[in-house]
Amino acid sequence: MREPIRDKGRLQHILESINNIFEFSEGKTFEQIQNDKMCYYAIVYQLVIIGEAANLLTKEFLANHPETPWREIISMRNFIVHGYNVVDKQEVWSVIENDLKPLKAQIEKYIEE
């Protein structure tokens, strides 16, 4: 159920998953991650959690924070879950390298609000 009181908890889930991804990928190259099935799928699962938690945020919260690409985050979750057999490992790596640091900063700011 989408209740404003639960938004902070969902943001904390997103932050925890981002931190997990950074821990799992720390010091690793793309090649190391793609060749380590356990690490790769642990990261993918964390991306699913991020997307699911974002999807459960209230519409009011999402509307009040349009600077975060919520639709893309949720769409990636849906693609991973429903298109699991065609997920591009390079795209997963790109998310780690380019998208998670700015997202983490935004989520930390929202939790402080």
71 noted as active-site residue:
no
- Which residue among the candidates 6, 10, 71, 77 is catalytic per the annotation? 77
The three-class DSSP label of residue 49 is helix
Q: Give me Rg for the CA atoms of the chain.
A: 14
Catalytic residues: 77
